Amino acid sequence: MTFPPAAIGRVLRRLDAFQQRFRPTAFAVAVIKRNGDARGSMYAALITFYGVLSVFPLLLLFITFAGMILGTNSAATRRLINSALADFPVIGDQIAKNIHALERGNIFALIASVVFLLWGALGLTSALQAASHQAWHRPRHEEPNIAIRTLRGLGLLGIIALSVVAATVLTGVSQAGIFHASPLLIRFLIGAATLAVDLLAYYVAMRLLSPREVRSSQLLSGVIVGATGWLILQNLGGYLIQHQLHRTTAIYGFFAVVLGLIFWLNIGAQLFLYATQINVVKVTRAWPRGLFEPSEEVKTELAKSA
């Protein structure tokens, strides 16, 4: 049985009218469409690219300095590395199994790591700034110059570094068995502390990347959604690696680690950009929107040609 085009059009129009009247769906559709208008997928890919350039040099430097301070083969170094890799639940176990490849570094490897780390990290923060500038629909002349962009980038790097260090410490505390309490209570407390760290990191990052006229209280919705979503993704990633993806490395080897890293970073980038769009849609009241409504750029071009 086939439906005539006119009947399909009526059904779609009724569905569109319903989603615009129902507040949760109207807001969700507006966020999704606004992210598409702001080329969110393109910026997420750019953030992922620079993130991949940053992760392995950062790991090499982290392992090297941890070995210099605590001893290359010490148990404390192993616990610290495993705690840091816990921030990548989809790929952390696979990287840990291949960590000996990173431990054989030399002075040239360290110099190359520093160069690639600075290149990738500053590229990552520049991409985040450009994505947020586009998300808030700011004019081109308000884009920060290279000095301000670099300072903001260093601030973002500091936030990321502090959040990773805090998460590493929390994971290390949970694995050290310092507290004599039930495992369930310890997991709950560590989860709550990790969520608090994520909330603070998201808030500071979004405050740096948002226009000055936007009040801090107006950023809370995106902060809560982003930080909670990241915590859920970390726990979901741990479940996937334990129950679904345990044969991947045996089949694809270290290539699977790279693919897993790209996938995981892209999810994190998409989450941050959608959380930003939640704030944008809420602040600018850019909802409801029709399912087949053209983008803001197309509307502007049509208005100019009219």
Q: Tens of pLDDT along the chain (306 residues)?
A: 455 577 787 888 889 889 899 999 999 999 999 999 999 999 999 999 988 887 767 766 666 666 666 665 666 556 666 655 655 655 555 555 555 545 555 677 667 767 777 777 888 889 999 999 999 988 888 888 888 888 888 888 888 878 877 776 776 666 555 556 667 777 788 888 889 999 999 999 999 999 989 999 999 999 999 999 988 887 776 566 555 555 555 555 566 667 777 888 899 999 999 999 999 999 999 888 888 877 766 666 666 666
Residue ranges of domains in the chain: 35-285
pTM beyond cutoff 0.75: yes
Per-position DSSP letters for the chain, written without gaps between them: ----HHHHHHHHHHHHHHHHHSHHHHHHHHHHHHHHHTTHHHHHHHHHHHHHHHHHHHHHHHHHHHHHHH-TT-HHHHHHHHHHHTT-TTTHHHHHHTHHHHHT--HHHHHHHHHHHHHHHHHHHHHHHHHHHHHTT--GGGS--HHHHHHHHHHHHHHHHHHHHHHHHHHHHHHHT-S-S-HHHHHHHHHHHHHHHHHHHHHHHHHHHS-TTS-GGGGHHHHHHHHHHHHHHHHHHHHHHHHTSTTHHHHHTHHHHHHHHHHHHHHHHHHHHHHHHHHHHHHHT-----TTPPPHHHHHHHHHH-
